[in-house]
Structure 1
Amino acid sequence: MTESTPHAHDVHDAHDVHDARDVHDTHDVYDLVGVGIGPFNLSLAALADGAPELRTLFLDAKPAFSWHPGLLMEGTTLQVPFLADLVTMVDPTSPWSYLNYLRHHDRMFPFFFSERFHIPRREYDAYCRWVSDALPSCQFDAQVEQLGWDETDDVFVVAHRAADGTRTRVRARQIVLGVGTNPVVPEPLRPLLADGGHKGRVLHSADYRTHRARLAACDDVTVIGAGQSGAEVALDLLRHQDGDGAGGPYVRWLARTNAFAPMEYSKIGLEHFTPDYIRYFRALPEERREQLVAEQWQLYKGVSEETLAELHDELYERTIGGAEPRAALHPGVAIVAAEVAQDGFLLTCRHTQQDALFEIRTSAIVSATGYAASRPAFLDSALVDWDDKGRYRIDGDYRVALDPRVSGGLYVQNAELHTHGVGAPDLTLGAWRAATILNAVAGRTVLRVPHHAAWTTFGVPRAESGSRSQSDGDSGAVPAAVVRP
């Protein structure tokens, strides 16, 4: 969010961070303060609204809710069904459901007649904005500058600043970080981005919509990345070509993966996004967990079959009458180097299977290469018991391991890919994870969450108990009995 300020091991020592005249210091203590208001922390805020005994506050630097604005193109849809909204998967009676949003906006009948299961991405953004505007616990224009621990009062201290310069400190017994992830680009492209992006002609897909018109006017655009964002950008640029393909940019789509592959969306395959799989994954050795995350990229980095079909249809249209499409798809390609060349850029690429180098000249580059969790600059890192790779150690309730002197709880959302598996960034598990955190914060069952949600047995089966067989991944215990054919 912002540059960090001096550590606040003791809040009394931290008063000199800003002139006291500039700081509004609240002495009431919140049960929970959330930093960041994306879908995951917004889910927690919505579910906590049903527990009025908990005093909660959620802070975000933005002036209002906004979810991936650079990719909110017309015609794009959410990759999960509308039931994976902020609350429904754990509390379908909540007033903050997507269906209640439709009812409040007189859109229930149109939605019913549209027979949609996957909703427009733009409407999901509007739905979340409706919830965030209505929840009194959500405060925007609050850029967190410091998060520390007050050993005297045994509370966290969160310092935040408004756009007008007003500074405020609040206290909390427990904190949840939902600060999202940061765009990632291949190392060879970073100098080009650092040089100002060459007037919007080198950018991450997170900024695509802002520079969409400029890119559509280029002669040649190269899109890098085999995921949903890369596919959507390539498709959108194709649609900016004239009907005969003569106008608009030449579209080139590169990917390191060996294929432009569809996301795993089978009914059984989706059971990787269940509490059952999380428990199994958490019980695995760290080395095996990291290997699995890399192998399972199609579970969370593939492209929807519908988008791939639309791309194919656009290319098919361009070839009617014998024309060649002004587009090219290149899987199995890694970017080795990038440099400015005349009016555009020169990419040195390596075909990974043939181990052969080749060059591409292009007018613009869109890096649709995903996002990664990073350590917030405002967090006093001395409070956290990091693992040997500088990552959070996270338990089954999404609580972070802290220095022993900290009695409060620090939780994280969407920073646990290494400990909880491929479901970390997926909206399907958002409400379940938020309810899990809420129950831990409250110290009681505010919302019942399912213990079993999958037909699949992940791991070696144990002796059957009742009607469902259990795996050793549930508890990490040695199987009581091994079932053999």
Structure 2
Amino acid sequence: MRATLEIAGIGIGPANLSLAALCEEAGESSRARFFDRKPAFAWHRGMMLPGARLQCSWIKDLITPIAPTSRFGFLSYLADRGRLFAFVNAGFEAVSRAEFADYLAWVAERLPGLQWNSELRDIGFEDGAFTVHAGRESVRARHLVLGLGHEPSLPACLEPYRGTHCVHAAEFLERTLPLARKRVAVVGGGQSGAEIVLHLLRMANPPARLTWISRRSNFLPLDETHFSNEHFTPAYVEHFFSLSVERRSELLREQRMMSDGISPSTLRELYAEVYRLQFLERGAPGPRLLPGRSLVACAMVNDAFRLEIRAEDTAIREALAADVVIAATGYRTALPSCLEKLRIVRDPATAALQLGRCYAAAWDGPPGNRIYLQNAGRWSHGIADPQLALLAWRSATILNDALGREVFALGGTASVISWSRNAEHSVLADSCE
């Protein structure tokens, strides 16, 4: 083994890629190593649909909000690719997912300390440091940073049928699905489901019948108005973290459409396609749109899926047949089994991983050795945590805490809203003076 590192990162998605970029920017890359089982950087390949766009601003890239002059920012990428002026002239409302993925891969190519083809074999703790065995290497590190992302989650009734004709949205473009002239059901009313439905409607050889099922009351838009976007700021994360578990749970339910809704531009395009098929195209069956329904059962009958759905408003059940099922049903946090020996603590009330202010998990070990979790803090830090919006700020928070000094200044947390009585400009305090 080599000398003890400060940080060993497991998984190289956007989260740990941001941390690696900050390490390089701060001249600390020799003190950190990052491991991933993939042969090279890849991000959401199964969902790189034509025209799919990010739901947050390109300026919230891997590093710019913390180090605006960094050579790893999105503007530097555009300049290096020779299309900065063209990008500005295009006036895009949002960056395409494909272009942002290319940016991420561009950064990955320029960072030392990223180890590919290095599947995690084991993690232990001995003599004051973590031991990480990944690929053919073994390293010691004072701290771990887990950026493992999320695993696709299917409804329990679909899980037994996962395969050639039943897939998660994350695999959509990586599978050869028999779609032309087939009965296709898309389950899930978020952005991924909407993008897949729009793609299917525009196919040269579309499905014979397309059904879109969502348990939400309608195909609801993303709430991306100005005051709602204040929930995606460091100031609000600090406020959210200070609240009780009960209040956090209430707020997460209330704020769901600020992170899980469908982009208004996608809804606009979808509605236009549905209108065209239903009213203008002769003999072209429009899609069957079924919001307010929950998928409750699935069975195979005569080589087809028999889906049973229940109306949320009336509790009436109905059945429909499908040859292909695509589940746009979200993701779940998953930790590798070898971490069980470290006994990471979960919150007894929510079963969520119990994270501190700087994203370190509670675990059965010395407090001076920390296990940081990226993308696992929705219950502790709010709706911004699984999103791209605060990648750079969260990574800088972790790096400062791991190195025990202010590598990057994080004081720029001003908000136009006073979130709590401890806010710098308390309305109540001003009125009582």
Residue of structure 2 in register with 1:436 after alignment:
397
**Counterparts of 1:457 and 1:367 in 2: how far apart (Å)?**
40
Deviations 1:425-453 (A, max 9, x none): 11011111011111111211111123533
In structure 1, the partner of 2:316 is: 356
Which letter does structure 2 place at the counterpart of 1:338? Answer: C
Paired AA for residue 429 in structure 1:
L
TM-score of the aligned structures, taking structure 2 as reference length: 0.94
Q: 1:168 aligns with which of 130, 137, 159?
A: 137
Q: Does 1:225 align with 2:225?
A: no
Q: Whose radius of gyration is greater, 1 or 2?
A: 1
Supply the distance in 1 between the matched residues of 2:167 and 2:345 (Cα, whole angstroms): 35
CA contact (8 A) 2:342 2:365 kept: no
Deviates more, 1:448-457 or 1:422-431: 448-457
Aligned to 2:7, what secondary structure does the other structure show?
Answer: strand
Match of 1:44 among 7, 10, 19: 19
CA distance in 1, matches of 2:94, 2:284: 33
Alignment partner, residue 458 of structure 1: 419
2:209 to 239, 250, 272: 250
SS in 2 for 1:379: helix
2:39 to 57, 63, 79: 63
Which residue is equivalent to 2:132? Answer: 158
Equivalent residues of 1:237, 1:249 under 8 A apart: no
Note if contact 1:88-1:94 (Cα within 8 Å) is conserved in structure 2.
Answer: yes
In the alignment, what sits opposite 2:71? 95
> Shift of the alpha carbon at 1:248?
3.5
Q: Residue in 1 aligned with 2:167?
A: 203
- Asked if the contact 2:308/2:317 (under 8 Å) is kept, the reply is yes
| 1:33 matched residue in structure 2 | 8
In structure 2, what is the equivalent of residue 110 of structure 1?
A: 86
Cα RMSD, aligned residues only = 2.0
- CA 1:215–1:231: 2 relative to 1, 3 Å: farther
- Aligned residue in 1 for 2:238: 279
User: Who is 2:307 aligned against?
Assistant: 347
2:177 to 185, 189, 214: 214
> Given that residues 186 and 327 in structure 2 are in contact (C-alpha distance below 8 angstroms), is that contact kept between their aligned partners in structure 1?
yes
Q: CA deviation at 1:457?
A: 2.2
Q: What is the aligned partner in structure 2 of residue 268 from structure 1?
A: 227
Give the match's secondary structure for 1:288: helix
Q: Which residue of 2 aligns with 1:4?
A: none
> Structure 1 stretches (4+) deviating beyond 6 angstroms?
none
State the Cα distance separating 1:323 from its structure 2 match.
5.6
Give yes or no for contact 1:82–1:117 (8 Å, CA) kept in 2. no
CA offset at residue 144 of structure 1? 0.8
- TM-score, structure 1 normalization: 0.84
Aligned-partner Cα distance in 1 for 2:241–2:21: 27
Matched, 1:189 2:152: no
Q: Letter of the aligned partner of 2:66 in structure 1?
A: V
Q: Residues 263-412 of structure 1 correspond to what in structure 2 (within 5 A)?
A: 263-318=222-277, 319-320=279-280, 325-388=285-348, 390-405=351-366, 407-412=368-373
Contact 2:188-2:213 at 8 Å conserved across structures: yes
Name the residue aligned to 2:377.
416
Say if 1:147 and 1:380, in contact at 8 Å, map to a contact too: no
Contact kept, 8 Å, 1:348 with 1:357, in 2: the verdict is yes
SS of the equivalent of 1:216 reads: coil
- CA distance in 1 between partners of 2:270 and 2:137 (Å): 50
Task: List per-residue Cα deviations over 1:36-67 (Å, max 9, x = no partner).
Answer: 10001100100110222451111111001111
> Match for residue 18 of structure 1?
none
Alignment equivalent of 1:133, drawn from 92, 109, 112: 109
1:157-204, CA deviations, whole angstroms, 9 ceiling, x for partnerless residues?
A: 00112xxxxx221111111000001111111111111xxx2xx21010
* C-alpha separation in 2, matches of 1:378 and 1:451: 38
Structure 2 contact 179–324 (Cα < 8 Å) conserved: no
Q: Kindly provide the CA deviation profile for residues 267-298 of structure 1, in whole angstroms up to 9, marking residues without a partner as x.
A: 11111111122122112221222232233220
Q: Is residue 11–residue 146 contact of structure 2 (8 Å, CA) maintained in 1?
A: yes
Contact 2:7 2:143 in 1 (8 A): yes
Deviations 1:243-265 (A, max 9, x none): xxxx5432111001111100011
CA-CA distance at 1:406 after TM superposition: 5.6
**Structure 2 gap segments, 5+ residues each:** none
Cα shift at 1:324: 6.1
Q: CA deviation at 1:454?
A: 2.1
Verify the 8 A CA contact 1:235 1:311 in the aligned structure 2: yes
1:79 is displaced (CA, Å) by 1.1
Per-residue deviation, residues 348-405 of structure 1 (Å, max 9, x unmatched): 1100111111101111100000112123223144342333254322111111122244
Q: CA deviation at 1:103?
A: 1.1
* 8 A Cα contact 1:220 1:363, kept in partner: yes
Equivalence for 1:235: 198
Q: Unaligned regions of 5+ residues in structure 1, if any? A: 1-25, 162-166, 471-479
Secondary structure at the aligned position of 2:158 is classed as helix
Number of equivalent positions: 429
Please say if 1:446 is aligned against 2:373.
no
Identity percentage of aligned residues? 35
Amino acid aligned to 1:140: W
Where 1:145 maps in the other structure, the secondary structure is strand
